[in-house]
Each structure stands twice: as C-alpha cells, then as structure tokens.
Chain A
C-alpha cells in the first residue's frame, strides 16, 4: 500500500515538473480558464441588454405621437437614437447596424385616432440578433398597446369613470408573471453558469488527452509505466492527480465567485453545487481518458475531444432547448456530459428539486466517470508498445 502511494507521489511530482517545463500547461490550466471566467461574467455584467438603439419614422409629428416616442425612450431596454424621413431610410439604418428596430407613424395618425377611424401604425425589428430583437419587439409592442389604451383612458376619464374602473375596463385579465429562480431575466446567471463550465470541460478534455498523449509522443510511455509499477491504474492516477487538484480548485473558485460574490440564484444550496462540480470534473476527465483510449494517438484523440466539446455547447440545450430538436438529436444529447451538467444544474441548483428528479443524468455522469475502465487495457498496451509517427 505504501509502495502504491509512493509511486503515485513520484508520478505526481514528475507531472508537476512537466507543468513547469511546458508553458502551455500554465496557459491552459490557469491563464485561459481565468480569462474565460472573467470574459463571460464581465461581458454579461449588465444582466440584460439595456438601451438598445431604436429609431422612429414619425410622419405625423403630433403631440400624441411625440408622447409615445418619449415613452418608448424612457423604457429601460430601448433608446430612441434617431428619427428617419422614410421607412426605407430606417430599414437601411438597420442594415447599417445603427438600430435594431423602428416604429412608423403614418401621416394622419392622430387625426384618424381622434375621429375614431382606427389608424394603423407599424413597427419593424430585426431578429438577426435574437436577444436584441426580442427585447426591442417587447418594447415596441408595449408602446403600441399603450397608445391604444391612452385613447380609451382619455374618453373614459372625460365621462367621469374612476381610475380603478378604467383600469378594469382596459385590462380585465392581468397576467401576473413569476420568473422562478431568475426574477430579473439575468442573462449573466443564465449563460455564465453554462458557458464557463462548458469551456472548462473543453480544457479538461483537451489537457487530459494532451498530457497522456505527449508521454507517448516523446516515448516516455515505458518510463512512466515503470514508475507506476507496470500498473496502468496507478500510472493514470498518479499522472492525473495534479490535474484533478488544479481543475477542482478552478471550478470551486469559479462557483464561489458566481454564487458567493455575484450571488447568482442557487436555492439548491452549497452541497449540491459541490456535488455538481465534482461530477463535472470527474466526468470530463473520464471522457478525456476514454477519448485517448479509443484512439491512442495524440492528434486523433485531441481532435475528437475538441470537436465533441465544441458541439456540446449546442447540444447542452440551454440556449436552444433539446426538446425543440429532432428526436434523434434528443437521444444523441445524452452523449454529451455538458447536457447532463446543465440538466442537473437546472433541476437541483437553480430550482431546488431533489436529486431524485434527475437521477438518470447523475447516473450518466457517473458512467462518463467510469468510461476509462473500458479502455485501460488499451492505454496500457499503447504505453508499452506504441511508437509515435510524426
């Protein structure tokens, strides 16, 4: 037993020396991950886009339309930046990337409104950026509804109704929205909790395969097997132990930063976050070892790891939900650790349901963790016999 520990210790020390020698490790295990964490949390700091530029085409130019424009400008998510002489000029402004949408008041809007001849106004927005487009859509839609309501309000006031009566008449049914877990639609809490773990997984996949692969590349396979007493498990554990510690430090400090400092909602509690992080790091390392064992060649296993990791951002189903995909893709989503991570995060951390509700996904993460068992023999074989061909 002591011997085993000693071997593991020796291998770990050797690995740490490799870290010192090859600067790429420092970059990929410290600098880049920290940069990515900083990137997403600072990029999405405002939580929700604010003051999106919108334009107006006001051919009516009356006090009523100007009041509506002022109201639009006062919305948190919209800012009226320009007034255009015609619809086509405003359209060109969208194509020029100046505005995300505009509202059009044709000539005679107020006149027709006052004489009850139902004028028609229009608003246009671009969905080429869905986030900006849907926010601008919401504001423009609200403004037109307010315009309609203002007329009713004015007539009813003139007839002597109370404010309560007017409110009830104009809006008999009210929708009372409860956004559970994210009451401000904070995109930072929504995206940073998925993008950063995704990129962390990418680094874990790549660095794990890279670390094992470079041993073969420089023909050190036999040497480390010797230190590991010719037992592949001891070799792997010893070699990857420093990796594991670094990754755990990184993901735990990130969790502390987002949940502790930035205070992203986490009703599931600390225990669940710890469990989730453990599952994530182990599953990702398991996948990395498996990818290498599947094809014990550095370039192929790294290519597979990177392609898989990049694809998992789409297959995670956070931005575009898995339930909206075709059936075969819904099944394939199970092959991506990030998908399970996201489901467990949503169920247990964000919504505080019990682990039982997503135990299948936990089981899948455990399966990823155990994948190396299938290929350990193959890796051992490769370590002892493989010759690197450039």
Chain B
C-alpha cells in the first residue's frame, strides 16, 4: 500500500505543480509590471548599457597648453602629446588663469604647463619639468592626460640620453636607452576597456534583479487579487508548499533559460566583449545561479505586503551589489563585514564565476568555490522558500476555514 501511496502522491504532486506552472505563466502575461521586468528589462537594458560603454576607452581628452618656453623642444613635447591617441590639444593660452577658465567651462580637462626655461635647462644638463594639472572629477580623463605626458616624457628622455651618450651603432643606442627591455600586456582584455570590464557583471546582476523584482511583483498581484490578502490562492491544488515552489520555479526557469542565454551568450557577442567560456562550464554555472536567484526571489516575495514594495526594497540594492562583486572595487579591499553581507546574495558568486569563465577564460575548476557556494544557495534558499510557503499555505487554509465557518453561520441565520 505504502509504495502505491507514495507513487500516487508523487504523480499528484507533479500534476499540481504543472497546474501551478500554467497558472503562474498566465499571471505573468496578464501583469504589465511583471512583463516589464521579465522581458523588457532583460532584453533592452543590456543593449542600452552596451551602447553606453561601447566606446570602451576615452580617447582624445581635451587638454590646454601653456607654453612659456616657445622652443623647439617644448613644441616637440606638445606635438607628441597631440599625436597620441588619448590626448588632444584644444587650445594654447598665455597663462594659467586663462587655462583655468577653459577647464572651468569643461572645454579642457587638463593643463600642460611648460616653464620658460624648459629647453634651456635641458641644454644646461639640468632637470626640466613639465607641470601637469589635472581636473580630478573624471578619473579616466585624468589618467589619459597624465599617462600620455609621462609616456611622451619617457620617449623624449631616451632621445636625449642617446644624443648625450654618443654611441656608435643603433643597437648600442637602444641598449643605452633601455638596458632592460620590458613588455607589459593586459591579459584577457588587452584594450582594458571600461565596457568589457563592467558589462559582464551588470549582465549577471540583471538576471538576479529582474527575477527577484518580477517574482515579487507577481506574488504581490496574487496577494492583492486574493480575498484575504493571502499569497496562496484558495484552489485545491495549491495545498503543498513543495509543489507550489516547484511549479513556480518551472515557470520562471522556462523564461530565464531564454533570458539567461540572451544575456550571457548573445549580448557579449553582439558587442564584441570577451567570450572565452566553454559552453559546458557556462551551463554548469548558470544552472545553479538561475535556480538560486529564483529561490531567492521566491523567498523575498513572501516578505512583501504590497506588490510595489519589492521595487522599493530591491532596486536600490543593485548598485551596492555591483560593488560587492569585487568588480569596480577590488575584492581584497572590501571590509570583512560587507564581505559577509555579500555572501547572502547569489549575484556575488554568479558574477565572479561568470567573469572568470567568460572574460578570463577560466574553467570550472577555477571557479569551484563559487560553484559550490551557488549550489549551497540553491539548497538553502529552496528550503527557506518551501518553509515560507508552507507558512503561507497554512495561513490560507486557516482563512478558508474561517470563511467557511462564517458562511455556514450566515446560512444558519
């Protein structure tokens, strides 16, 4: 009897889950708020972000020059800076005050100041200085202006050294200028672009945030269309927490298999961001990540009373979460307390794993820690989701009983 009983329960449970799956799908397509977060945002936002960061680096940062030296060497310095890809000389002015005015109007972002004794000092065998004044409001512009000046000065320095040392052959001159040759290379993303660094994190974060928002909104609608403000409808097949969670998960998973593929596979290729992951590894990470996000979303959805509250709770979290992934701010620099907070969110580990797989060409063995933690999240949040739903189911049943009793009482009258 027992075996048969268990079997019937399982079959019945599957049937119920499938019904809930269908219900949930209908509810999603009826709710414009959910459609926005499940479809419009994942489809449009990545394109928008990719467009914003598509230029990757800042070129031709406008720079103003005060050349008091008016010498062949100062002109060479300016010419070489202007010829570099990152800096563009937009104006020559007479003094620092005039230059300050141009920077104030955002016409220029930095000032190169060449003092009047620039060439004289070099010819006298004294150190000459070029002052670089940078507007620090844009770090990328400051870097471009400063690094270009340094590079140009290094190049001119070696020219001067070669002239002074009076070597005979080209090779000797080369060695004189650079006894130790060095070559620097940015691995994985050689251009060091802003987009290919921040976008992968944003893409993964979009998956989590839209899922949580969508699930929360849908749960809010379910609650509001219910007579007793309950999360669980008073339908016969909504009587087990496990089958409710399973049915809903199937529905969300169905949508996010597509959205996940779009976000992690198609979008990076469309905008030529680095895509080095093997599909097996990517799949291995995306399955626990998507599931963890869904269960996390279901857990959060039980907390909200009104449907819009989930937006108030979840939207602002996106920005701190992006920081906690260790992308914009190095992971080693995140204070321990916030590291602890970050372990609560699947996105922290999803983003880290995805970046190392897709942008850095790692394999699953490189992200084993993240992989394990994601599965741990899946299990934990699944259990929590089942528990909170069990509570909701019992609430709903209680309300239904009360209603029944009331109904009977009224009939008696």
Q: Which residues of A contact B150 (CB under 8 A)?
A: 175
Stretch at the interface among B130-138, B242-250, B385-393, B403-411: B130-138
B103 engages A172 (CB within 8 Å):
no
Residue of A nearest to B353 (CB): A97
Q: Which residues of A contact B126 (CB under 8 A)?
A: 168
Residue of B nearest to A117 (CB): B175
The A/B interface has a contact count, at CB < 8 Å, of: 323
Which residues of B from 58 to 83 have beta carbons under 8 Å from A? 58-59, 61-62, 77
Q: A113-B179, A206-B312, A326-B55 are in contact. Are A118 and B153 (CB under 8 A)?
A: no
Closest chain A CB from B324 CB (angstroms): 8
Which residues of B from 175 to 221 have beta carbons under 8 Å from A? 175, 178-189, 191-194, 196-198, 217, 221
Q: A120-B182, A128-B359, A303-B36 are in contact. Are A351 and B137 (CB under 8 A)?
A: yes
Residue of A nearest to B125 (CB): A168
A169 engages B161 (CB within 8 Å):
yes
B316 engages A324 (CB within 8 Å):
no
A310 engages B315 (CB within 8 Å):
yes
A16 to B140, CA, bound (A): 45
A172 engages B182 (CB within 8 Å):
no
Count of chain B residues with a beta carbon within 8 Å of a chain A beta carbon: 112
Residue of A43, A318, A353 most packed against chain B (CB within 10 A): A43
A28 to B221, CA, bound (A): 21
B360 engages A299 (CB within 8 Å):
no
Residue of A43, A137, A175 most packed against chain B (CB within 10 A): A175
A141 to B182, CA, bound (A): 8
Residue of A nearest to B150 (CB): A175
Q: A123-B184, A313-B319 are in contact. Are A173 and B141 (CB under 8 A)?
A: no
Q: A127-B192, A173-B153 are in contact. Are A116 and B330 (CB under 8 A)?
A: no
Q: Which residues of B contact A177 (CB under 8 A)?
A: 131-132, 134, 146
A175 engages B329 (CB within 8 Å):
no
Chain A positions 238 through 268: 1 when the CB is less than 8 Å from some CB of chain B, otherwise 0:
0000000000000000000000000000000
Closest chain A CB from B229 CB (angstroms): 11
Q: A127-B186, A180-B136 are in contact. Are A94 and B360 (CB under 8 A)?
A: yes
B197 engages A181 (CB within 8 Å):
no
A324 engages B57 (CB within 8 Å):
yes
A148 to B161, CA, bound (A): 13
Stretch at the interface among A44-52, A269-277, A365-373, A377-385: A44-52
User: Which of A49, A92, A298, A314 is the one whose CB lies under 8 Å from B52?
Assistant: A314
Does any Cβ of B come within 8 Å of A281's Cβ?
no
Q: Which residues of A contact B157 (CB under 8 A)?
A: 170-173
Stretch at the interface among A197-205, A222-230, A284-292: A197-205
Residue of A nearest to B224 (CB): A390
A32 engages B182 (CB within 8 Å):
no
A123 engages B182 (CB within 8 Å):
yes
Q: Which residues of B contact A176 (CB under 8 A)?
A: 129-132
Does any Cβ of A come within 8 Å of B143's Cβ?
yes
Q: Which residues of B contact A125 (CB under 8 A)?
A: 184-187
Closest chain B CB from A172 CB (angstroms): 5
Closest chain A CB from B212 CB (angstroms): 13
B187 engages A124 (CB within 8 Å):
yes
Residue of A173, A178, A198, A203 most packed against chain B (CB within 10 A): A173
B161 engages A320 (CB within 8 Å):
no
Interface secondary structure of A, over-half rule: helix
B319 engages A329 (CB within 8 Å):
no
Q: Which residues of A contact B59 (CB under 8 A)?
A: 324
Chain A positions 94 through 122: 1 when the CB is less than 8 Å from some CB of chain B, otherwise 0:
11110010000000010001001111111
Which residues of A from 199 to 219 have beta carbons under 8 Å from B? 199, 202-203, 206-207, 210, 213-214, 217
A52 to B334, CA, bound (A): 12
Q: Which residues of A contact B143 (CB under 8 A)?
A: 134
Which residues of A from 328 to 365 have beta carbons under 8 Å from B? 329, 342-343, 345-347, 350-351, 353-354, 357-358
Count of chain A residues with a beta carbon within 8 Å of a chain B beta carbon: 120
Closest chain A CB from B135 CB (angstroms): 6
Q: Which residues of A contact B189 (CB under 8 A)?
A: 126-128
Q: Which residues of A contact B179 (CB under 8 A)?
A: 113, 116, 118, 148, 151-152
Closest chain B CB from A262 CB (angstroms): 16
A224 to B103, CA, bound (A): 50
A207 to B305, CA, bound (A): 16
Which residues of B from 100 to 139 have beta carbons under 8 Å from A? 103-106, 122, 125-139
Q: Which residues of A contact B192 (CB under 8 A)?
A: 127, 130, 133-134
B197 engages A148 (CB within 8 Å):
no
Residue of B nearest to A155 (CB): B179
A175 engages B32 (CB within 8 Å):
no
Does any Cβ of A come within 8 Å of B41's Cβ?
yes
Residue of B nearest to A24 (CB): B309
Does any Cβ of A come within 8 Å of B237's Cβ?
no
A182 engages B136 (CB within 8 Å):
yes
A117 to B312, CA, bound (A): 65
Q: Which residues of B contact A320 (CB under 8 A)?
A: 52-53, 58, 140, 194, 198
Q: Which residues of A contact B331 (CB under 8 A)?
A: 97
B197 engages A127 (CB within 8 Å):
yes
Q: Which residues of A contact B397 (CB under 8 A)?
A: none
Interfacial residues, chain B to chain A (CB-CB below 8 A): 32-33, 36-37, 41, 45, 48-49, 51-55, 57-59, 61-62, 77, 103-106, 122, 125-143, 146, 149-150, 153-154, 156-157, 160-161, 164, 174-175, 178-189, 191-194, 196-198, 217, 221, 224-225, 305-309, 311-313, 315-316, 318-320, 323, 326-335, 337-338, 352, 355-356, 359-362, 366
What are 24 sample pairs from A and B whose C-beta atoms fall under 8 A apart? A40-B323, A43-B329, A50-B333, A91-B187, A100-B330, A122-B184, A125-B185, A125-B187, A127-B197, A128-B327, A130-B198, A137-B186, A170-B161, A171-B127, A172-B156, A173-B160, A181-B135, A300-B33, A302-B311, A307-B45, A320-B58, A346-B135, A347-B104, A347-B106
Interfacial residues, chain A to chain B (CB-CB below 8 A): 24, 27-28, 32, 36, 39-40, 42-46, 49-53, 91-92, 94-97, 100, 109, 113, 116-134, 137, 140-141, 144-145, 147-148, 151-152, 165, 167-182, 185, 187, 190, 195, 198-199, 202-203, 206-207, 210, 213-214, 217, 298-300, 302-303, 306-307, 309-311, 313-315, 317-321, 323-326, 329, 342-343, 345-347, 350-351, 353-354, 357-358, 390
**7 smallest A-B Cβ distances: which pairs?**
A144-B182, A346-B137, A353-B104, A127-B192, A182-B136, A95-B362, A324-B58
